[in-house]
Amino acid sequence: MNAAGVLLDTGPLVALLSKDDAEHARAQRLFAECAPPFRCCEAVIAEACFLMRRVHTAGPAEVIALGKKGVYEISISLADTWSHIEALLKKYANRPISLACACLIRCAEIHEEARILTFDSDFRIFRWSGERKFDVLQMV
């Protein structure tokens, strides 16, 4: 069991909530291996709400309900970290980096947390606090 504080990306969150998602069973197993709350950012939640709206009309409310239940917490404020996020977006401009990815990298730096629940293979390339690698959680 992974202790609380694992970083949470959009893909696993959407897969968990969408029973028709090809990664649904994988997401269920990975979430079960981690103690809440997960750490994420508003950009991850915005992406998840947008994607879940495509699944069904109540999808965005389901994303928010998980936060209300304490499954995840917003662990970084973009307003407090403009310069860092800008630098990360420039550093990885040659990669398909989103605002959510940059915020999760910064969240790792702030909380000194390498464990991340993501389906995004770029987190094997992204580095935090210089050259520190992410520990991308895998299904055991």
pLDDT digits over 107-138, tens only? 999 999 999 999 999 999 999 998 999 999 98
For residue 1, is it within any domain?
no
Count the domains in the chain: 1
Q: For residue 54, what are the CA distances in angstroms to 14, 41, 58, 59, 67? A: 11, 21, 10, 8, 20
Strand partners, 136: 116
For residue 70, is it within any domain?
yes
Whole-angstrom Cα distance, residue 14 to residue 12? 5
For residue 64, is it within any domain?
yes
42 or 96, which is more confident: 42
What pTM value is reported for the model?
A: 0.95
- Return phi, psi of residue 34, to 5°: -125, 140
- Evaluate if residue 140 carries a pLDDT over 70: no
pLDDT tier, 31 (very low <50, low <70, confident <90, very high otherwise): very high
Q: State the residue for tokens 């630098």.
A: 87
What number of helices (H) and strands (E) belong to the chain?
6, 7
- Evaluate if residue 139 carries a pLDDT over 70: no
For residue 41, is it within any domain?
yes
User: What average pLDDT does this structure show over 14-39?
Assistant: 96
pLDDT digits over 8-19, tens only? 999 999 999 999
For residue 90, is it within any domain?
yes
Q: What is the pLDDT of residue 1?
A: 86
pLDDT digits over 67-95, tens only? 999 999 999 999 999 999 999 999 999 99
Whole-angstrom Cα distance, residue 17 to residue 81? 30
Domain range holding 108? 7-136
Instruction: Tally Cβ neighbours within 10 Å of residue 140.
Output: 6
Peptide bond into 37 cis (omega under 30): yes
For residue 2, is it within any domain?
no
CATH number at residue 80: 3.40.50.1010
For residue 11, is it within any domain?
yes
